[in-house]
Amino acid sequence: MKIIAIERSVHRLELDPPFQPSWDTRLRHHFDIHLVRVETDEGLIGVGSGDAMPGFEGHEDLFIGRDPRDLDRHFRVIENLSFHYGRCWPLDIALWDLFGQITGQACWRLLGGRAEGLRAYASSGSLREPEELVDLAQLVVEEGYTALKIRFHRKNWQDDVEALAAVREAVGDSLELMVDCNQGWRMPWDTKPPWTLKQALAVAKELEALEVYWMEEPLHRGDYEGMRLLRESTPIRIAGAEMTRELHELRELIDRGCLDVLQPDAAVTGGITGLRRIAQQATDRGLEFTPHTWGNGIGLLANAHLAAGCGGSTYLEFPFDPPVWTPERRDFLMVEPLIAGEDGWIALGEAPGFGIELDEDMLEATRLD
């Protein structure tokens, strides 16, 4: 069996109403998905998505004619490309989807088969007024979720805490509450400095009183010592590493005791092949491993299979912030959007690979190139 083609395309969904993410100062009027498909000489096609893979064009010959099952070999080439150019990890995701189809197995089984399903936490993406945030939390409870992640990034963190407190008062202990502080990285045009350790400690004290489950990205991604000290100073779990670029940086975070919850994204760093190793290291050290999934449904499915296969995930992130962010928007290239069940769990099933079914009509209607 040989790889005969690698096709990449971009697809755009216009957003009405537009979406204002908490981590971005610019309003988003459209949502782009970068799709990669790997085809074999036996007619099987693996699908991946995530980063735009800048710099990949012209390197297709490194994979064409090769056996798609040589995953470790392909991983090493993708790692080299990702160092020299952009993040090319969606290709690794497509190869795993293909590998599952070749073997007739769901990827979560191939990755260890620890769990067929995962308990989802509803992950909000926008900043809302306190009363609007309470409405979202109550909807989350009605939908069957048992946990909700709330975004911080207002002008003053005291206002963030005030909004969080309103939710806790409204829902009591019916929801676990996580907080994403959005301090680990910035969009290119956002020059606001991240919190200092003292600021993060002050926020942590407030979150302790509100019984927050974890505190995500409270410091700059490279402040290893600050994260370690913060982790030692509060009983709240410290989470992070969603945009970390290199696998060795993830190992550094584990070895230096920076985090309780490790959140890399297979579409961003290491792919499935690299992160399965990191997941093992994290769980061996007693950390929770629960990938970041704020992209599209293909990346969400890939990370879900990774987490279910390797274990270590108490919760899996499930982007949910209607009406500005819904499964239908996130998964617009798929025939059916991925949804959580009434009990708040995501069932992965036994379909080979990731079980992705693309909507060919939507692919054609939204294609940019």
Domain boundaries, the chain: 3-104, 109-347
Please tell me the distance from the alpha carbon of residue 276 to that of residue 333, in angstroms, as a whole number. Answer: 26
Residue recorded with tokens 């963190």: 157
pLDDT at 179 over 90: yes
Please tell me the distance from the alpha carbon of residue 56 to that of residue 40, in angstroms, as a whole number. Answer: 19
In order, the DSSP letters of 160-185 are HHHHHHHHHHHHTTSSEEEEE---S-
| 198-234 per-position pLDDT tens digit | 999 999 999 999 999 999 999 999 999 999 999 999 9
Q: Is 112 left (phi over 0), alpha (psi -120 to 50) or beta?
A: left
| 28-87 per-position pLDDT tens digit | 999 999 999 999 999 999 999 999 999 999 999 999 999 999 999 999 999 999 999 999
Question: What is residue 312's predicted lDDT score, i.e. its pLDDT?
Answer: 80
Please tell me the distance from the alpha carbon of residue 279 to that of residue 288, in angstroms, as a whole number. Answer: 9
Structure tokens at 9: 């395309």
Please tell me the distance from the alpha carbon of residue 28 to that of residue 179, in angstroms, as a whole number. Answer: 23
Q: Does domain 3-104 have CATH number 3.30.390.10?
A: yes
The residue length of the chain stands at 369
Burial category of 145 from C-beta neighbours within 10 Å (exposed 0-12, middle 13-18, buried 19 and up): buried
Q: Please, which residues have CB within 8 angstroms of residue 234's CB and are 6 or more apart in sequence?
A: 201, 204, 205, 207, 208, 215
Q: Place 286 in a pLDDT band, splitting at 50, 70 and 90.
A: very high
Question: What is residue 369's predicted lDDT score, i.e. its pLDDT?
Answer: 77
pLDDT at 190 over 80: yes
Per DSSP (E only), the strands in the chain are 3-19, 28-40, 45-49, 117-123, 147-151, 176-180, 214-216, 237-240, 261-262, 288-289, 316-319, 345-347
| 292-313 per-position pLDDT tens digit | 999 999 999 999 999 999 988 8
Residue recorded with tokens 């939507």: 362
Averaged pLDDT, 277-298: 96
Residue range 109-347, CATH number: 3.20.20.120
Structure tokens at 356: 């992705």
% the chain with pLDDT above 70: 100
Asked whether 275 and 307 are in contact (CB, 8 A), the reply is no
Question: What is residue 265's predicted lDDT score, i.e. its pLDDT?
Answer: 98
In terms of DSSP bridges, do strands 117-123 and 316-319 run parallel, antiparallel, or are they unpaired? Answer: parallel
Asked whether 35 and 49 are in contact (CB, 8 A), the reply is yes
Q: Is it true that the peptide bond before 319 is cis, omega within 30 degrees of 0?
A: no
Question: What is residue 324's predicted lDDT score, i.e. its pLDDT?
Answer: 94
Q: HSE (CB half, 13 Å, CA atoms) of 286?
A: 3
Q: HSE (CB half, 13 Å, CA atoms) of 57?
A: 4
| 320-353 per-position pLDDT tens digit | 999 999 999 999 999 999 999 989 999 999 999 9
